[in-house]
A and B are shown apart, each in its own frame.
Chain A
């Protein structure tokens, strides 16, 4: 049951384009030999023997998936880039289309509401990741004590992350009701505060935390699972050696456990960071961005611009900015992750 990040992760981490000098290591000597034979044989005979050449065969396998992605992902993206330079409004499809240059971008970047939304998103991402990493890693550490029944309880803990954030998030709206909701009554039971004295979703101060709690409830198992893989990847002999050297448990934790699990923790943080940066469904159903705009994360602002104000051009500009931001941050982060892995 050793978990390890294999060399394929390397591809994932090595996200830099055009810099990959390492040739693909996937082909074994036999295909190289096969190619050599194919090259040595005159072309008509080769094609008669092998049917299609390996290269055209490869494209035959890959093209359908790539074509679909081009049609449903890349073409729309290019269209969005084009729209971001125009004054297009989706609710007035027949109005004359004017090019507005970069003004959509400058408007987005100078819009205080959008900066407010970015700040809200950053707050949400920071706290959810901090809480999920702390709780998730601690749980993984405890589960790795391998007590009896740990596999069963691990499966139970994993359940929330498999459910629909929209459908379950919607139900949390009920749990958070001040009079009738279970959450307020549990808090009241534990602290003595009257259950109807606070509103998780209605108050400016508490609503960001209401969302953070649901997200942490849902996604802590995700971080836990990846951390658990990290802890299980540490070979026993390292601990045995530490024991021989009479290193204290505390020392073992800081010098062995944490550094060796760090790449896994960072991977979990990367995935959670990207996902929570895009967060839409759960927040929409819990608060819809309210009260006022206290929980309006970037995706909700984007949705309001695009599908309520119908400023499609400007919304496209904002979408492109968001995409570039995720992509750029993820790239920087992956470089840091690679440094940690190489240590």
Chain B
């Protein structure tokens, strides 16, 4: 197996084949639950709960229709009196002897998720970039202690943080508001943003700004016109990490929001149909919620390692 012409550290063909087989097998197994979510979202409710589970089935959009609407049961005579169905969803709903009563709460919850995730990401990255630049370029007294303090805020169990936040927000009128959630997620994400961005800014040679400042730029101009453009990749990667955290967060959301500002994660598990959980609708809600993250994962794959270790490990 050894003593061939190629480099001694290059793995042999056999070992590569064995490795490839095992890794591909693992990857396929790990995707089964996700594939099942997508499949279930296209099943009809009876198909979704059949015994044994159906792999081949007639795909339908019923799950997606049920996700976005609320429905009421009606008599067949009444349904006929309504005339021709106006949409695919209308048709599917009527075939179950029901009519669409109105929109469900999914879309408002999804919008809350968007507003809160993007709002908090914007704030966290802005504050984080400033602080990271400060830590990277100036001699800050007790810098290490401050950086550690920033990180340690991430170690608290979310429920422990939620108790006083709950009381504080009740006093300030911030409970169940998008602003309250944005501030909270910003605070959680700022620690990640500072640590990651400090790493990225450390990598930009400070000679660039110094040259700019010699040319008459002020420190602020140098920061905005020289450092920020250089740090774009780092800022984008950090922003995506913050976005994913805020998007996926559940513990704070379920404790601090109940209606107006509720995000999608606490809402999706509460989707129920007639006689229990409406699994196709839950699966549809999950699919729509998860797809943006899949896209981001692919965009981020090169920076992933750095993000998940707070910048401690870099490639």
Contact = CB atoms under 8 A, between A and B. Distances in A.
Contacts of B311: 8
Contacts of A12: 148, 151, 310, 312
Residue among A2, A83, A139 with max Cβ neighbours from chain B (10 Å): A139
A171 B9 contact: no
> What DSSP secondary structure best describes chain A's contact surface?
helix
B187 A72 contact: yes
Interface in A174-230: 174-175, 179-182, 185-186, 195, 217, 221-222, 225-226, 228-229
Nearest to B210: A30
Given A30-B210, A182-B36, A157 B26 contact: yes
B2 interface: yes
Residue among B11, B134, B161 with max Cβ neighbours from chain A (10 Å): B134
A68 B127 contact: yes
B234 to A, nearest CB: 14
A166 B266 contact: yes
Given A65-B131, A155-B301, A157-B30, A319 B250 contact: no
Nearest to A274: B155
Nearest to B20: A147
**Range, interface on chain A:** 35 or more
Interface in B223-277: 244, 247-251, 254-255, 264-266, 268-269, 277
A1 interface: yes
A95 interface: no
Contacts of B128: 65
B37 A171 contact: yes
Interface stretch (A39-47, A54-62, A100-108, A126-134): A54-62
B175 to A, nearest CB: 11
Interface string B156-172: 11111111111110100
A278 B37 contact: no
Interface in A1-39: 1-6, 8-9, 11-12, 14-15, 17-18, 20, 24, 26-28, 30-31
A157 B186 CA distance: 29
B22 A142 contact: yes
Nearest to B193: A65
B121 interface: no
B283 interface: yes
Nearest to B52: A185
Given A162-B293, A327-B155, A64 B131 contact: yes
Interface in A85-143: 90, 93, 139, 142-143
Contacts of B9: 236, 239-240, 243
A72 B293 contact: no
A75 to B, nearest CB: 8
Given A69-B191, A79-B168, A168 B290 contact: yes
B160 A323 contact: yes
B157 A73 contact: no
Interface stretch (B59-67, B80-88, B94-102, B194-202): B194-202
A169 to B, nearest CB: 9
Nearest to B268: A167
B289 A73 contact: no
B204 interface: no
A162 to B, nearest CB: 5
Contact of A66 (B23, B146, B266, B269): B146
A170 interface: yes
B157 A319 contact: yes
B160 A322 contact: yes
B251 A281 contact: yes
A172 B33 contact: yes
A17 B148 contact: yes
B32 interface: yes
A180 B51 CA distance: 5
10 contacts: A26-B202, A58-B139, A74-B153, A145-B15, A157-B27, A166-B254, A167-B264, A167-B269, A182-B32, A319-B163
Interface of B: 2, 7-9, 11, 15-20, 22-24, 26-27, 30-34, 36-37, 40, 48-53, 127-128, 130-131, 133-140, 143-153, 155-168, 170, 183-184, 186-187, 190-191, 194, 198-199, 202, 206-207, 210, 218-219, 244, 247-251, 254-255, 264-266, 268-269, 277, 279, 282-283, 286, 289-290, 293-294, 296-298, 301, 304-305, 308-315
